[in-house]
Amino acid sequence: MGIYRWAAEHHLENPRVISPFTLEWSSVFHPRFYRAATGTGASTVPSLEPVEANGTDSSPQRLWFELVVFLASVTLSAAIVQSRFSSGTLASKYDRLWQAGRFMSTGLVPGLRGQTLMDDVVAMAHDNEVSDLDRLLAIRSRFEEVISHLRGPESVTEASLLRSEVSAALRPRFGFLEELQHELGAQLECVIVYGSSVNSKDFAD
């Protein structure tokens, strides 16, 4: 709690505590941030070498690949729905798709041709006649194709959620809930809100 008190005293909004565990994982997802934060040139990014014949779905390479593809796809959806993206958004998605193609070319994902995906990324990046929205939708379709070939986890950890009411200050952000409940009725089991929607003064995602 001390860090939050310090942040309040210095008028810093939405402070985030980066634990050693989180910092360790950043070596996989944001290696440049990891190296800058630790002051070392070391990185624990998994090797891009082909997976051995006796490799399993739980190998570090496959875990890294699946998480990166999933996260890139989810954030892409937000960019499309909210019409909130930049040239950097496009570039980062191209990077992730190209990485996916490289992994697939090693035989990591059966049924997908990695070189074809890499060629598609290059072609899309050089096509100046396509609008940004159509470009994002095309990228999204490639992500969906990749994800459709992922088997997913063999086991799932169950978690229980506790219901809580939305505070009066946040209700305007979730004014759609009553309409959603009216439209879906009993089909609607719950709505999970998180991130900037509940911890930011200015609603973002």
pLDDT per residue as tens digits for the range 122-145: 888 888 888 888 888 888 888 888
Mean pLDDT across the stretch 105-115?
74
Break the chain into its structural domains and give their ranges.
Answer: 2-38, 60-148, 160-205
pLDDT reported for residue 53: 38
* 60-108 pLDDT per residue, tens: 667 777 887 888 888 787 777 777 777 777 888 888 888 888 877 777 6
Tell me how far apart the alpha carbons of residues 113 and 12 are, in angstroms, rounded to a whole number.
47
- Token match 């739980």: residue? 58
pTM over 0.85: no
* 16-27 pLDDT per residue, tens: 777 888 887 777
* 29-65 pLDDT per residue, tens: 677 777 788 886 655 554 444 444 344 444 666 777 7
Q: What are the Cα distances from residue 111, in Å, to 51, 66, 189, 196? A: 15, 15, 35, 37
pLDDT reported for residue 66: 81
